[in-house]
Amino acid sequence: MLGRSFLSLCAGLALVCAPLAASAELQTDPMLLYATMKAAYDKGAASGWHLGDELDYFSTVLDAGRAFELRRRDDPENYALKGTAVDLATRLRYDPLTNRDAAEWYVRLAAQTYANDPARGAAAQALLTKLDAEDANLTTLAKDADADATSNATNYAGDVAALLGRVDADVRAYDLTKDPYYRSLALDRAAQPDFPIALVAPETAKDLDAFTDAARLGSIGYSAADTDAAKAIVSHRAAAKTIPTIGRVLSHQSYLVITAPADEYFGKTKLSPIGVRNALLRITKYLDAGWGPQMTGEALYVVDALDDWRQQYPRDYELPRLLLNTYKTLDRINSPQARDAEIRVKRLLIVEYSTSDEAHSLLSG
């Protein structure tokens, strides 16, 4: 059951949110996303708050919260939403590696806002400590992803979303660290009789299938236990072929706008999407001419623009490609500032966009 903070916030939602007309092109409208959050809450309350309902609600809170922070920062609800974000991030064991909302900056901001709050201060500070540790060490991030998913599986025993989440966390942890421990965990957990093999998300299934095929064939690095688990997975998958594959149905009526408009401008230097791409091309030409460290400032302006871009349009399909191109550009600039930015851009790509082809390309390289 959700705590009083969730209930009190959503009681207010019913009074504030009026139905909003559908739009062919959704804008970053805080009130539209606020109404979507209310719908997600109502759906969860009606179905008894399974983990999938709570994760769905959390996703809408993150969208609404970011919209208020970007468009209506002085609105009192902006502060209230950050409190709800802290509550849910704590309750649901928020983890940047397994969260699909690319919202770490907002979760961190919410925790900073409530760090000295009498009621939420301890939870907010614990959240910040965890995020700082994960930011400093990718091994810690992978370990926490498994621990967080395992905690949810314990708290929501037998819940489909919890079972899927644990395997997803182990697959991502392996991709991040290449530690076979996580690969073995993923195989073992996916081999359990109660694991919903037919509902594995495509981005997780791709890696899990590769593990399964390699283990079944006795490839180097796989244990006998891995091989046994792989055989069980194949058997379960064959039995599940008659079961229709249905993803978790989200109650989202709208999200933050997915694609940045061509006439939007980001960062201190106000670069448009075309401006970001042109800046990377220009920097590359100067690097080809041997300018090296002299291009540090220009490259950092691109990073700044991409930071602003991803905060406003976190699901833009172009971001992973631009982050990878920026990483490669920074790698060619021999300066301390560029190196620091390179490390940060790499983490953004492999953590917040971990299922993208660009992230897999960088990790495999």
Q: Does residue 132 share a domain with residue 1?
A: yes
Q: Does residue 358 share a domain with residue 333?
A: yes
pLDDT in tens, the chain (365 residues): 444 344 344 433 333 333 333 332 335 789 999 999 999 999 999 999 999 999 999 999 999 999 999 999 999 999 999 999 999 999 999 999 999 899 999 999 999 999 999 999 999 999 999 999 999 999 999 999 999 999 999 999 999 999 999 999 999 999 999 999 999 999 999 999 999 999 999 989 999 999 999 999 999 999 999 999 999 999 998 887 644 444 444 445 556 778 888 899 999 999 999 999 999 999 999 999 999 999 999 999 999 999 999 999 999 999 999 999 999 999 999 999 999 999 999 999 999 999 999 999 999 87
**Residue 3: per-residue pLDDT:** 45
Residue that terminates a domain, selected from 104, 136, 168: 136
> How many C-beta atoms lie closer than 10 Å to residue 105's C-beta?
17
**Residue 11: per-residue pLDDT:** 36
DSSP 162-174: HHHHHHHHHHHHH
Whether 266 maps to a domain, the answer reads: no
Residue that terminates a domain, selected from 233, 257, 281: 257
∠ Cα 287 262 35 (to 5°) = 125
Residue that terminates a domain, selected from 200, 224, 257: 257
Q: Does residue 115 share a domain with residue 8?
A: yes
Q: Does residue 162 share a domain with residue 103?
A: no
Q: Does residue 97 share a domain with residue 3?
A: yes
Q: Which two tokens stand for residue 216?
A: 């079944």
**Residue 245: per-residue pLDDT:** 42
Whether 245 maps to a domain, the answer reads: yes
The domain total for the chain is 3
Q: Which two tokens stand for residue 243?
A: 């079961």
Quote the longest CA-to-CA distance of the chain.
Answer: 63
**Residue 2: per-residue pLDDT:** 47
What is the Cα–Cα distance from 264 to 53, expressed in whole angstroms? 34
Q: Which residues contact 42 (CB under 8 A, 6 or more apart)?
A: none
Whether 297 maps to a domain, the answer reads: yes
Q: For residue 70, what are the domain limits?
A: 1-136
Q: Does residue 109 share a domain with residue 74?
A: yes
Q: Does residue 56 share a domain with residue 128?
A: yes
Whether 144 maps to a domain, the answer reads: no
Whether 267 maps to a domain, the answer reads: no
Whether 316 maps to a domain, the answer reads: yes
Whether the Cβ atoms of residue 151 and residue 93 lie closer than 8 Å to each other: yes
User: 65 vs 1, 2, 86, 98, CA distance in Å?
Assistant: 22, 19, 11, 19
C-alpha dihedral, 138 to 304 to 317 to 315, nearest 10°: 70
The number of C-alpha atoms within 13 Å of 279 and in the hemisphere containing its C-beta is 24
- What global pTM score does this model have? 0.87
